[in-house]
């Protein structure tokens, strides 16, 4: 009996250990979650400045994420319906980053609701944006019923997406 149970226990332990990874902070996380490489540069001490995540829809909506770090290092993760698929990087100047802060202040981004949605409307992609300015972090998720002014903030990210300055892969800095 013990001879049959021992291989089953050993096999189970192997499966459990294969499904676990360590994130940048050395904490375990299950395989399949985005925690292991969501912010590729956190391990180097560079913190997130601004972010956009464009979600899926039933059509041809662009699906991507852009992470901008305080150093200006910018990472694009193109997923679907965008010209640049996969990981790409570029470097933003402080002046380019300042445009995000100025736009956020202009449209009163920090005063917006955290979420704009209507669960009865199903085929609208979610867009999540965030920024850190003046020691304050704000994130806005929107699908429906949002202020039109937030589109001007998102446009800054879209302009980056269309830039020719991207380099393929996750570049070392």
Domain ranges of the chain: 37-168
User: What are the angstrom distances between the C-alpha of 45 and each of 24, 41, 101, 140?
Assistant: 10, 7, 21, 25
Report the alpha-carbon distance of residue 84 to residue 168 in Å, rounded.
9
Mean pLDDT per 10-residue section of the chain, whose length is 173 residues: 51 41 38 36 74 95 97 97 97 97 98 96 94 96 98 98 93 64
Predicted model pTM = 0.74
Which class would CATH give 37-168?
Answer: alpha beta
The pLDDT of residue 4: 57
> Environment class of residue 162 by beta-carbon count within 10 Å: exposed (0-12), middle (13-18) or buried (19+)?
exposed
Report the alpha-carbon distance of residue 7 to residue 59 in Å, rounded.
48
């Amino acid at each position: 009996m013990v001879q049959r149970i021992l291989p089953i226990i050993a096999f189970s332990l192997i499966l459990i250990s294969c499904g676990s990874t360590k994130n940048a902070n050395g904490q375990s996380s299950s395989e399949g979650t985005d925690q292991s490489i969501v912010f590729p540069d956190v391990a180097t001490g560079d913190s997130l400045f601004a972010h956009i995540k464009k979600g899926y829809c039933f059509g041809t909506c662009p699906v991507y994420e852009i992470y901008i770090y305080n150093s200006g290092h910018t990472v694009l993760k193109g997923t679907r319906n965008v010209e640049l698929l996969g990981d790409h990087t570029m470097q933003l100047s402080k002046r380019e980053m300042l445009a995000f802060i100025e736009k956020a202040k202009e449209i009163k981004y920090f005063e917006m609701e955290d979420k704009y949605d209507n669960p009865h409307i199903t085929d609208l992609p979610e867009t999540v944006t965030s920024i850190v300015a003046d020691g304050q972090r704000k994130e806005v998720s929107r699908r429906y019923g949002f202020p039109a002014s937030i589109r001007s903030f998102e446009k800054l990210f879209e302009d980056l997406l269309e830039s020719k300055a991207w380099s393929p892969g996750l570049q070392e800095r």
